[in-house]
Amino acid sequence: MRDTIPVTILSGSLGAGKTTLLNHLLTEAGDRDIAVLVNDMGTVNVDAELIAEGSELDVDDGVAELSNGCICCELQDDLETAVVRLANDRNFDALVVESSGISEPAPVARLFTTESRVAALYRVDTLVTVLDTRLFLDSFAGETPKRREIGETSADGDSGDATTEDADRPLSDLMVEQVELSNIVLLNKADLCSDAELDEAEELVGALQPDAETIRTTFSQVAPDRLFDRDLFDQNEINDLPGWKRALAEAGHSHDDGHDHDAEGDSSHGHASHSHPEDVYGITSFTYRRRRPFHPVRLADVLRDLPASVVRSKGTVWLAGNDFRVVLGQAGPSIRAEAQGPWIASLPEVERDMYRANRPDLDWHDEHGDRRTELVFIGTDYDEDALRTALDDALVTDEEWDDAGSLTGPFPTEQGEETVVRSP
């Protein structure tokens, strides 16, 4: 049986330079035969000189043979069917899957890493995100970058290919999630930024994903060997955790005194290409843990007033009057909240005991059960003490505690419900 085929998964916001990168990789493939899967052949706009003389797109199977031995496919049918058919019908050395039109690369990566006929044929090698560096910096500078409309083409030829759902999503959300799931980040359009700005962008990437390797590019020009056969993806390694998850994992143990005391940790270092002292851009992170519920209205006020210097926050909050774990996700000016499963402590006794029996490592407080707040904040030169104080002031007071169950606010209260706390 032949070895599994390495897969490079490519993501990036509209206009970042994904199409330019794909064309560059096809041009510079050399002896490496590449298959490329994209959402729509029209959005790839593969350079004409790459197409073999006289070849045409086979509408039946969506495959175009290219003169350098590469293959280009339009991804219109089920992804699993497409990649299995490719592996069975054609010989190639590597597969590139563009995850545009999908909010982030995780759904594609999961297909190749779960037990399936796909996983038997392929392995994820590297997750690559292409950033428009200037847009990336502007997204976390209190500005609201204009999102291009579907079908609009950028100056570097990357056409709009987002779904309607993605088009309604704040750009900062999309970029942050793509960076957090990356092994390699291309800081593209580097020629439009100063060296200091590029250094700052690298620090931001390192804060969001400490293990991401950053590469500065202009017109997405990068040696293919830096993106292929790197074997950088490992779904089981803690080193692949994004900055906010690692901050939670590395924070100190809690104390059962009614308040959880938190540990602090800097998540701004460790990415492969460059490393700078913490005080260059003041990028730091801290974890806020408490076992007292928030007053939902006061917490919303704190979140809406978060300074622009806080570029990312994420975690679970305990809200008074709410039986559900509410997950907060903030990326630049965008803050969203989603109600996930109920607190185990809020379940009927039989269910509660069953869950606890199946989860012996569950952090359980004698009085509050599993109810707690765990939030990670990552930012540049923000006043940590002031933010901690504001959050503490948003907790219910002793006087409010008895009536806390009747408090309401602008947060979701039904499982799966999502609300926008702050928008750009």
Number of H helices, E strands in the chain: 13, 14
Per-residue pLDDT of 336-355, as tens digits, reads 999 988 999 999 999 999 98
How far, in Å, CA of 325 to CA of 332, rounded? Answer: 23
Tens digit of pLDDT at every position of the chain (424 positions): 348 889 998 888 777 888 788 888 888 878 888 888 775 444 455 554 444 443 444 434 455 445 555 555 555 446 777 788 788 877 888 888 877 544 567 777 777 877 677 778 888 899 999 999 998 888 776 443 343 333 333 444 444 443 334 445 566 777 888 888 889 999 999 999 999 999 989 988 888 888 899 999 999 999 999 999 898 887 654 345 566 566 666 654 333 333 444 333 333 333 322 223 243 445 778 889 999 999 999 999 999 999 888 888 889 999 999 999 999 988 888 899 999 889 999 999 999 999 888 888 888 999 999 999 999 898 877 889 999 999 999 999 999 988 888 888 899 999 989 999 988 7
What is the residue extent of each domain of the chain? 5-239, 241-422
* Domain 5-239 class in CATH: alpha beta
In 18-101 the beta strands, taken as DSSP E runs, fall at 34-38, 63-65, 71-74, 94-98
C-alpha distances (whole Å) from 422 to each of 170, 207, 389, 410 are 11, 22, 21, 11
* Backbone phi and psi for residue 315, each to the nearest 5 degrees, phi listed first: 155, -170
Which residues are CB-contacts of 128 (< 8 A; sequence separation ≥ 6)? Answer: 8, 9, 10, 11, 182, 183, 184, 185, 186, 227
Bridge partners (DSSP) of residue 122 are 5
241-422 has which fold?
A: Hypothetical Protein Yjia; Chain: A;domain 2 (3.30.1220)
Residue 300: CB atoms within 10 A of its CB come to: 21
Helix (H, G, I), strand (E, B) or coil at 376: strand
Per-residue pLDDT of 21-49, as tens digits, reads 888 888 887 888 888 877 544 445 555 44
Q: Which of 131, 117, 114, 146 is nearest to 187 (CA)?
A: 131
How far, in Å, CA of 149 to CA of 159, rounded? Answer: 9
How far, in Å, CA of 1 to CA of 296, rounded? Answer: 58
Determine contact, residues 300/410, Cβ cutoff 8 Å. yes
pTM, to two decimals: 0.67
Identity at 414, one-letter amino acid code: E
How far, in Å, CA of 55 to CA of 193, rounded? Answer: 41
Half-sphere exposure of residue 335: CA atoms within 13 angstroms, side-chain side: 24
